Structure 1
Amino acid sequence: MRPVRPARAMRAGFLRPLSPRAGPEGGRPGAGRALGTWLVVGALAATLVALLVPVALFGGARSAAADAPAWKDDGAGTRNTAFGPLTALDRDFVRKVRLAGLWEKPAGRLAQERGTSDSVRTAGEHLVGGHSELDRRALDAARSLDITLPGRPTEQQQGWLDRMDAARGAEFDRVFAQLVRAAHGKVFGLVALVRDRTGNSLVRELATRANTVVLDHITVLEDTGATGIPRTRGRMPAPSPAPDQPSPAPDQQSTAQHSDEEMK
C-alpha cells in the first residue's frame, strides 16, 4: 500500500493543521482564556477584600468591648423604685463605691503617715476626704434602695493594703501611688458607664459626684511623680458664673464656702 500523502491525509481528516487558528477578532483562543482567568481571580480578590475590610475597621471595636469596665450581675434583675428603675449595674456600682472606700481610706491614712513628700501626703488627704464623702453617699443610697453592701475589702484589695503596709520610704510612695492610680483608672470607666446608662436618680447623683472625686484623686496621684505617668499640667479653674447670672452676694459666698468645708 502506498503511503498517504500529507495533502490527502489532511483532506481526509486524519491530520490537523499545525498553524494556530484565528480566534475572535483575529486573536488567539489562549489569550481569551487567560483574560477570563484574570477576571475570575480579580473577582475573588475583591470578594476577599470586602470580607476583610469590616474586620479591619471594626476589629478594634471588639477589643474595646473586651476592655469595657467589668461589673458583676447579681442576678436580681431590674426593680422599680421611687427613684427610678434599679438595675444590676446600678447595684454593683453602689457596692463598688463602698468597696473603694473600705481600702482607699486606709491607704490614704498610710500615705499621710508614711509619705516622704508633701505631694504623697496631700494625695492621702484627698483619698481620705473624698472616699469618706462617697462612702456616706453610698450608704444613704443603699438604705433608700435596699442594697446590701460589703463590710470589708476584697481579698485583692486587702493584698494591696498589705503591700503598702510592708513598704517604707520611697518604695512606699511608689507602691501607694501606682496601686491606687491603677485602681482609679479602672473605676473611672465604670463611673462613666453608670452615669450614661442609669435611670435611677440616686445612682446618677452618686455617679456624678464620684466622677469628680475620682478625677481629683487621679490628678493628685499623678502629681506625686511616683505613678510612672506624667504629671497633669495645672488644674482646671473653678467654674465662674454665667454672663447672664449675677455673682452671689457676700453672705451667699460665705454660706457656700461653709457648705463646701462641711462636705470635705
Structure 2
Amino acid sequence: MSLASRYVMGTGIVIGALAFTLIALLIPVQKFGGRSAAAATSAGEDDGAGILSTAFGPLTPQDRDFVRKVRLAGLWELPAGRQAQQRGTRPMVRTAGMHLVEGHTELDRRVIETAQALGVDLPNQPSAQQQGWLDQLDRAQGAQYERLFIQLLRRAHGKVFALVAQVRAQTRNSMVRALATDANATVLDHITVLEDSGLVDFDGLADASPAPSTVSRPTK
C-alpha cells in the first residue's frame, strides 16, 4: 500500500470516529438494559436509563421525570382550562382558564422541543389520576364546578411548584434548566390567577387526599 493510500485511509478513520462521537453526544441512548427510556412515566419513577451524556450536559432520571411531568401537566390542564373558559360564570374563573390555555400551549411547545433535543419520549395522554380529575369536572355543575376547578388546579400547581424549583436548582442540563425556568414563570402565573378568583380553600390544600370530589364551602 502506498504512503498516499495509507494517509487517505487514516484520515477517513479519524473523520469517522469524530462523526460517531458527535452523534453520540447529540443523540443520547434511548434504551438501558433493554428498557425503553419512556417506560416510566408515573410520579417519581426512575426510568432505569441512568445518567446520559448529551450536548447540553448530563441528563439525569430526575431531569427526564421532570420533562415528562411538564408534558403530563399540559395534557389535563389544557382541556381543563378550555372547559373553564366555556363553563365559568365568574369572570375570574374564565380568566384563570384563559391563562391555563395560553400558558400550557406555549409550555407544551417548549417541552416537545426539549424532549426532541434530548431524546426523551413523552406521554400522549393524561395519567389515570389526571383523567379522574377531568371526570370530576365533567360531572360538577354550577358553583360547585367553579370551586372544584379552582381547588383542583391550585392544588396541582402548588405541588408541581416545589418540583420545578428543585429541578431548576439541581439540574446540570442547560435545556432542562431553561424549561424549568419557563415552567416556574408559568406555574407562578397560574397560581396567582387561581388565587385571584377568591375561591381557593387554603385549608383544603393541606388535605393529603389526591383531590377533592366536592367542595362544600357555601356559595357566595
Does 2:68 align with 1:95?
yes
1:178 aligns with 2:148: no
Q: How does 1:97-246 map to 2 (within 5 A)?
A: 97-229=70-202
Ranges of 4+ aligned residues in structure 1 off by more than 6 Å: none
Match of 2:12 in 1: none
Percent identity between matched residues is: 65
Is this contact kept in 2: 1:114–1:168, CA < 8 A?
no
Tell me the distance in 1 between the aligned counterparts of 2:84 and 2:117.
Answer: 33
Give 3-state SS (helix, strand or coil) of 2:58's partner: strand
What is the TM-score normalised by the length of structure 1?
0.60
C-alpha distance in 2 between matches for 1:118 and 1:213: 20
Cα offset, 1:196, TM superposition: 0.6
1:40-55 alignment runs, 5 A limit? none
1:12 corresponds in structure 2 to none
* Aligned-partner Cα distance in 2 for 1:84–1:222: 37
Distance in structure 2 (CA, Å) of the matches to 1:71 and 1:197 = 16
- Looking at structure 1, the residues matched to 82 and 94 of structure 2 have their Cα atoms a distance apart, in angstroms, of 9
CA distance in 2, matches of 1:78, 1:137: 22
Shift of 1:136: 0.5
CA contact (8 A) 1:222 1:229 kept: no
Letter of the 2:186 partner, please give it: V
Give the distance between the partners of 2:78 and 2:52, measured in 1 at CA.
Answer: 31
Give the letter aligned to residue 173 of structure 2: N
Aligned-partner SS, 2:124: coil
CA distance in structure 1 between the aligned counterparts of 2:66 and 2:120, rounded to whole angstroms: 11
Once the two structures are TM-superposed, the CA of residue 72 in structure 1 deviates from its matched residue by: 2.2
User: In the alignment, residue 200 of structure 1 is paired with which amino acid?
Assistant: N
Confirm or deny that 1:71 pairs with 2:44.
yes
Match of 1:84 in 2: 57
Secondary structure, aligned partner of 1:162:
helix
Larger Rg: 1
Write the letter of the residue equivalent to 1:71.
G
**CA distance, structure 2, for counterparts of residue 168 and residue 223 of structure 1:** 21
Aligned residues: 161
Q: Secondary structure at the match of 2:53?
A: strand
Residue 71 of structure 1: how far off its partner (Å): 2.4
Alpha-carbon separation, structure 1, partners of 2:90 and 2:103: 20
Any unmatched runs of 5+ in structure 2?
1-42, 204-220
Mind listing any 5+ residue stretches in structure 1 that lack a counterpart?
Answer: 1-69, 231-264
> How many angstroms apart in 2 are the aligned matches of 1:127 and 1:72?
26
Task: State TM-score, norm by structure 2.
Answer: 0.72
What amino acid sits opposite 1:204 in the alignment? R
Partners of 1:160 and 1:229 in 2: CA distance: 19
Tell me: higher relative CO, structure 1 or 2? Use CA pairs within 8 A at least 6 residues apart: 2
